[in-house]
Amino acid sequence: MKTFQIPIREQVSPANQVLFDNLTKMAGHVPNLFAVFAHSENALGNYLTLGSGKTSLRAKEREVVNLVVSQVNKCLYCLSAHTAIAKMQGFTDEQAMEIRRAEITFDPKLDALAKLVKSIAENQGHADLQLVENFYAAGYNEGNLVDVVIVVGDKIITNYMFALTAVPIDYPIAPEL
């Protein structure tokens, strides 16, 4: 595979430089995977807008979606980044592993979410209907389902970008399941 160049601030457009500055202020650095989006004039801004949009999902629920989709897609970059983020959200190492397996013992509502997300990702959106019913029975609604699909799509974007670029992972490497 061709090595994908990770641009630095001076190599990107003025609009992307502003985004690099904002990412540096928020995260302390520009993650390598985000930097490759800046090869496009619009992709980084579009992606960041998608990821920062309003949602009915709590931060922990978003991390469940991120970890499950990244596990299904075998994206080590996103698994590494979101394992670190999950810890910042209060999940333990063991809980992060349970989430990745979609076998959550510590929270039945998150377990229903994880199982549905795994089915969505594995079946290209054609989730097991019983898992959809279990999701609703756990307390979620139709709006939550729509928001889950948006987060799944968001994560597929970065999973695929890593698969195509194989940029160096700039987070502590997530353990294997």
Give the number of other Cβ atoms within 10 Å of residue 122's Cβ.
15
For residue 80, what pLDDT is reported? 98
Mean per-residue pLDDT of the chain: 97
pLDDT at 1: 63
pLDDT in tens, 79-90: 999 999 999 999
Please calculate the CA angle 88-91-93 and round it to the nearest 5 degrees. 105
Percent of the chain with pLDDT over 90: 98
Contact 119, 128 (CB under 8 A): yes
CA distance 86 to 99: 10
Gap between the Cα atoms of 145 and 100, Å rounded: 19
**For residue 94, is it left (φ>0), alpha (ψ between -120 and 50) or beta?**
alpha
pTM score of the predicted model: 0.96
Distance CA(13)–CA(29), nearest Å, equals 18
> How far apart (Å, rounded) are the C-alpha atoms in residues 128 and 141?
17
Confidence (pLDDT) at 3? 75
User: What pLDDT shows up at residue 4?
Assistant: 87
- The CATH number corresponding to 59-165 among 1.20.1250.20, 1.10.1040.10, 3.40.50.300, 1.20.1290.10 equals 1.20.1290.10
Q: For residue 105, what is the enclosing H or E element?
A: none
The model's pLDDT over 1-51, given as tens digits with 9 standing for 90+, comes to: 667 899 999 999 999 999 999 999 999 999 999 999 999 999 999 999 999
Nearest to 98 by CA among 77, 121, 71: 71
Query: Which residues of the chain does CATH 1.20.1290.10 include?
Result: 59-165
How far is Cα 165 from Cα 77, in angstroms, rounded to an integer? 11
Read off the pLDDT band of 133 (50, 70, 90): very high
Q: What is the pLDDT of residues 149-165, one digit of tens each?
A: 999 999 999 999 999 99
Structure-model confidence comparison of residues 3 and 116, the more confident one: 116
At residue 119 the predicted structure's pLDDT band, cuts being 50, 70 and 90, is: very high
Cα-based torsion angle of the residue sequence 28, 74, 52, 27 in order, rounded to the nearest 10 degrees? 0
Q: For the chain, how many residues are written? A: 177
